[in-house]
């Protein structure tokens, strides 16, 4: 059985997730696990996919970076799969997919993973250089503080009787940000009683 795994880093990347699911379906995946989380955090759907796979199955991904952010993590996942008799297929390269069940496929996967990690590191370096230049020119503003901008909405929803978790989910900020907004509005005691 071919089991697909699709991931985007943020919930805003809907089109990217849909494209991955489309490609996995076209590749013949009978089951697809998908999620919108950073590769750095917990990935429950990846864990579900890995738990579901049995000997003879193949995990299918569209691109290497959807599964792992570096070669070490990728190697650990692939080693775990192969130890259980499960293959890995990467669709990233068009009709020339990489299938890691053979030695050639494992070699190619490691090479591509190393290149992807190198490219990501270069991108980070360029980003740091750009930020440093913008700061030197007094043009750097950083990202917009979205939680602070939504503090008023958080307080209003809380006053309407919503719980902290409901407020956080409704306006798309973390629970800690909601607590800070409520504390700044003098509602700390009200939160403690909830």
CA proximity to 4, closest of 80, 84, 76, 63? 63
Q: What is the DSSP letter of 30?
A: S
User: Considering 9, 165, 177, 192, which one is annotated as catalytic?
Assistant: 9
Q: Give catalytic status of residue 38 as yes or no.
A: no
109 Cα distance to chain centroid:
20
Beta carbons within 8 Å of 46's beta carbon, 6+ residues apart: 5, 7, 33, 35, 67
Taking a C-beta distance cutoff of 8 angstroms, is the pair 90, 59 a contact?
no
Taking a C-beta distance cutoff of 8 angstroms, is the pair 34, 5 a contact?
yes
Catalytic machinery residues? 9
């Amino acid at each position: 059985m071919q089991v697909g795994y699709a991931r985007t880093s943020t919930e805003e990347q809907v089109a990217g997730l849909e494209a991955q699911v489309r490609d996995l379906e076209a590749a013949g995946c009978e089951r697809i696990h998908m999620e919108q989380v950073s590769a750095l955090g917990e990935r429950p759907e990846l864990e579900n996919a890995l738990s579901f796979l049995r000997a003879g199955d193949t995990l299918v991904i569209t691109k290497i970076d959807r599964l792992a952010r570096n070669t070490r993590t990728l190697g650990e996942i692939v080693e775990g799969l192969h130890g259980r008799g499960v293959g890995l297929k990467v669709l990233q390269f068009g009709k020339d997919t990489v299938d890691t069940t053979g030695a050639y496929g494992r070699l190619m996967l490691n090479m591509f993973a190393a290149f992807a990690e190198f490219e990501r590191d270069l991108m980070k370096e360029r980003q740091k250089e750009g930020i440093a230049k913008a700061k030197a020119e007094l043009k750097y503003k950083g990202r917009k503080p979205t939680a602070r901008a939504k503090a008023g909405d958080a307080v209003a929803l809380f006053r309407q009787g919503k719980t902290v978790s409901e407020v956080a989910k409704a306006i798309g900020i973390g629970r800690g940000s909601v607590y800070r907004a409520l504390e700044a509005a003098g509602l700390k005691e009200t939160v403690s009683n909830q």
